[in-house]
Amino acid sequence: MNCELCGKTVGKPKKVRVEGSTLQVCEQCARHGKEVFEDKKADTEEMVKRINKSKTRRSRSKGFGDEGKTLVMDYPDKIREARLKQNLTQEELAKKLNEKKSVVAKLEKKDMRPSESLRKKLERALDIDLMEEIEQFSQTSEQKETGLTIGDLIKEE
């Protein structure tokens, strides 16, 4: 049998998935893909490992305690006010955050939304909280029957 990638004669080929295609390849070419297992149990275990790995990555990126929260709408004002309260220029804050001055300027103009890691750096450096609880709406039994309208969401002040 020949390797389906390089054409070399192979005694015992490995079955791998390369860019969506399953191929019989030699040992050297096997590193270009993910090994496909013959028995369904091993395939399932591999899939579970990948899913768990991606869940771990996602939960790390969200940050502990941030579930049910969202970025405050007035984050540019909060950032600017906290920066001025500490008598920092945009450039000084940028150095403190290890970012470019243009990043701070864009944040304060609302031209840019901070990533999770940048938001955390801003909160630590400026001693502010840029997250707020997401308000949960519950429907009465009457609203469930008729459906929720936009008027139901508007608060009277």
Question: 123 in a domain, yes or no?
Answer: yes
Q: What is the pLDDT of residues 10-32, one digit of tens each?
A: 888 888 888 778 888 888 888 88
Query: Looking at the structure, do residues 75 and 33 belong to the same domain, yes or no?
Result: no
Reduced to 3 states (helix: H, G, I; strand: E, B; else coil), residue 43 is: helix
Q: How far apart are CA 28 and CA 3, in angstroms?
A: 10
Q: How many structural domains compose the chain?
A: 2
Note whether residue 45 is domain-resident. no
pLDDT of residue 62: 46
Range of the domain at 13: 1-40
**Residue 23 token pair:** 């191929």
- Whether residue 144 is contained in a domain is answered as no
Question: pLDDT for 56-87, tens place per residue?
Answer: 554 444 444 566 788 889 999 999 999 999 99
Residue 47 has pLDDT above 90, yes or no: no
Looking up residue 79, the CATH number of its domain turns out to be 1.10.260.40
Do 35 and 73 belong together in one domain? Answer: no
| Amino acid residing at 146 | T
Look at residue 71 and give its three-state secondary structure.
Answer: strand
State the residue for tokens 């004669």.
9
Model's pTM, two decimal places?
A: 0.48
Q: Which two tokens stand for residue 15?
A: 């079955």
CA 44 to chain centre: 25
